[in-house]
Chain A
Amino acid sequence: MSTVSVPFGYHGMSLRIDVSTGGVERVPLPGTLLRRFIGGSGLGVRLLLDEGTAPLDALDPRAPLIFAFSPLVGSPLTTSAKFAVVSKSPLTDRINDSLASSGFAVQGKACGCDAMVIVGRAAEWSVLVIDDGSVRLEPAADCAGLTCGATDARLRSRLGSDFRIAAIGPGGENGVRFATISHDGRHAGRGGSGAVMGAKRLKAIAVRGTQRPEWADRQQVIAISQDLSHRSFGPATAKYRELGTATNLLTFNRLRALPTRNFQRGHFEDAGNLSVEQLTATRSKTRESCVTCTIGCEHIYGVGSGTVRVEYESLFALGSLCGIGDAEVVLRASQRCDELGIDTISAGGTIAFAMECVERGWLDEPWLAFGDGQALLRAIDLIGVRQGLGNLLAEGSRRAAAAIGHHSMAIAPQVKGLEIPGYEPRALQTMALGFAVGTRGADHNRSGAYEVDFSEKVDRRQVTLDAVRHAIDTEDRAALMDSLIICKFLRGVFEDFHEEAAAMVRSVTGWEVTARELRQTAARIVAAKQQFNRRAGWRPEEDTLPDRVLDTPLPDDPLATLSRERLAALVAEYHRQRGTADPRDVEG
């Protein structure tokens, strides 16, 4: 009988759990597969492809929900305590890979696996308990209807405070197509992985473990970690540490790139009310970090009698996009989304879309108007429980537009069904390309192309085909960071990211990995996502943007015009450079 060599940094095994039957398989993961896809998003996408379930509905019990860890998890490398959640998205019907951070990653991997593949549907609301590799389902009917935070607290009280919990809120229970999975107040936020978990009647997953794989070169891991931590205290991360992402708001507004009133404008007159400066002057504020993180990007502000983590994307989606400049309302809306376990970007995008439909007379809900904070809060609550208009909006803007009709699809702020984050595509056209070709739809975490727009490399309002290679580079780098997993807020710290990443992987795994190999790995991971999408029914015409942003100048900035022809040329060039112009190139 031969033994399988397990690489350093890994357990060489996934847990495949069927919550319909309670069956558990321990599936060996070959070293070759791990080296080719590393971990996190890459490993999760590869495992999902291997399940052969791409054509299934995302909420079908047989459709897998995968939690994937990485070789760096458990090491002292700053920001490495992250996990990926991979599934088919119920919002886009395409691939979805969301990330979240902190103790769940460390404890989940310490259960002795590199990934957990969950299929089936429990007989009742349950918590999946993975206790050092021992797997059981426990009833959790008493948690039904609880917020994400309350569920976490109740289960840790019941199971033990050393368990780490990933939970869904009412949004996931009710099948909101943009429901999140929450851990310790952070969310695997985009694409509706919470609805997939809800479809399996899993209210939560609780993990605790003691199994830690060895590293190939412990001394080198510690040396690299210390050096990276030291550099992470410097100016490259000052923005995140001192101000948080919320500081983007005024910058985007100044550059006429802040999506406002459902992408009708790029400048919001009340942005100053939502600025970091104003929030800091008027509210209590604390900072937090994920486990192992030395940056500490989380800026938590007081709102009502509680607190809320404030991020740019939430301020934009629930603020300027809905025409709301009342900070108290915007922070309460963000807090409510967190409690319900729904994505703030998709919630804000879908509500802003509905507000415009009401304004145009396409939707008979006169209470829902731009700038009405109480209407925003009411709409969020209705979405969370799928009542009244909330039942339609819980479907996301693309499905809502299909139901509303008229010309509403033209103004639905989505790509492939995923609502567009806070980057006005006409003003940031390399990002526009990133959105159009993104495998999970319009997304700023899977394409960092906005970095190119905020540089001398392109004219951000009139990009040419030269922008394409830059967009591909940022997409590849994101895929690699999401698979290692290292937080993107570190990106400014690296002088040569691929060389440094290769050194990290070498020290942990012992593989003689080079920067060149990691570049190839990144492209392979993006190709795997594209392959899933093709198997799920992707068509070339999906790689586009809403009609609203094509051919019509941004009213605040007439130079910001993106023609349909130019976008099509950019997309065609992207696929030419990727080698995916012919569908057979990917499927093979």
Chain B
Amino acid sequence: MRVEFLGVSRDRAGVDEIDVEAETLGRLLMTLSARLPRLAELIVVDRISPHDAHAAVRGPRLHSSLAANLNGDRFISDPETPLGERDRVLILSADVGG
């Protein structure tokens, strides 16, 4: 799928858009976190047990200052949200207004 970056996420990603293979939003964010280190600062992984690196994760999720939108239609945050090859995911500022 294609990921488009807008605003702060574009600044952090250093590119306007990239192609990524991922079946869910959570996997997409993990991939972005690995490929784009400056953006990774804004991708949060909550571990069920914060002291155990092997503990199950809740997430990952975008920092509350960012939001994800699917195909320009609806906003998504559930890491289990399924994504398809032809989808376009927009990563934009949650605080969109002026």
Contacts and interface: CB of A to CB of B under 8 A. Distances in A.
A450 B92 CA distance: 14
A15 B4 CA distance: 54
A238 B97 CA distance: 14
Contact of B6 (A238, A250, A422, A455): A250
A312 B98 contact: yes
B94 A254 contact: no
A554 to B, nearest CB: 12
A242 B93 CA distance: 12
A311 B74 contact: no
A252 B69 CA distance: 12
Contact of B7 (A243, A311, A456): A243
Given A236-B65, A247-B7, A454 B98 contact: no
The A contact surface, by secondary structure, is helix
A256 B75 CA distance: 15
Contacts, number: 80
Contact of B96 (A236, A248, A559): A248
Contacts of A491: 95
B11 A242 contact: yes
Contacts of B41: 235
B11 A248 contact: no
The binding surface of chain B is classed by DSSP as loop
A251 B74 contact: no
A256 B72 contact: yes
B77 A254 contact: no
Given A248-B97, A444-B98, A236 B90 contact: no
B78 to A, nearest CB: 9
Contacts of A23: none
Interface string B51-95: 000000000000111010100111111000000000000101111
Contact of A455 (B8, B42, B75): B75
B8 A459 contact: no
A202 B40 CA distance: 54
B96 A456 contact: no
A587 interface: no
Interface in A402-446: 421-423, 444
Contacts of B94: 454-455, 492
Nearest to A256: B72
A214 B41 CA distance: 41
A251 B92 contact: yes
A455 B42 CA distance: 18
Contact of A242 (B8, B63, B64): B8
Contacts of B97: 248, 423, 444, 448, 450-451, 454
Interface in A100-120: none
Given A247-B7, A254-B72, A235 B65 contact: yes
Interface in A205-259: 235-236, 238-239, 242-243, 245, 247-248, 250-252, 254-256
Nearest to A297: B98
A559 B73 CA distance: 10
B98 A456 contact: no
A256 B71 CA distance: 12
B98 A422 contact: yes
A254 B98 contact: no
A236 B95 contact: yes
A239 B72 contact: no
Given A238-B65, A459-B74, A492-B65, A251 B7 contact: yes
Contact of A239 (B4, B64, B65, B90): B65
Contacts of A451: 95-97
B6 A254 contact: yes
Contact of B95 (A250, A422, A492, A559): A492
A455 B77 CA distance: 9
Interface residues of A, number: 33
Nearest to A314: B98
Given A254-B72, A255-B69, A239 B77 contact: no
Nearest to B93: A239
Contacts of B7: 239, 243, 247-248, 250-251
A108 B69 CA distance: 45
A173 interface: no
A482 interface: no
B42 to A, nearest CB: 6
Contact of B4 (A248, A254, A459, A559): A254
Contacts of B6: 247, 250-251, 254
A313 interface: yes
A562 B8 CA distance: 31
A238 B8 CA distance: 7
A533 to B, nearest CB: 24
Interface in A299-328: 311-313
B67 A454 contact: yes
A452 to B, nearest CB: 10
A349 to B, nearest CB: 15
Interface string A245-283: 101101110111000000000000000000001000000
A425 to B, nearest CB: 14
A254 B74 contact: no
Contact of B98 (A242, A248, A256, A559): A248
Contacts of A450: 96-97
Q: Report, nearest first, the 9 A-B pairs whose CB atoms are least far apart.
A: A245-B98, A235-B65, A247-B7, A312-B98, A454-B96, A239-B93, A251-B6, A450-B97, A456-B75
6 contacts: A236-B95, A239-B95, A250-B6, A448-B97, A454-B96, A456-B74
Given A247-B93, A312-B98, 9 more contacts: A235-B41, A239-B8, A239-B95, A243-B11, A254-B4, A277-B10, A451-B95, A454-B75, A492-B64
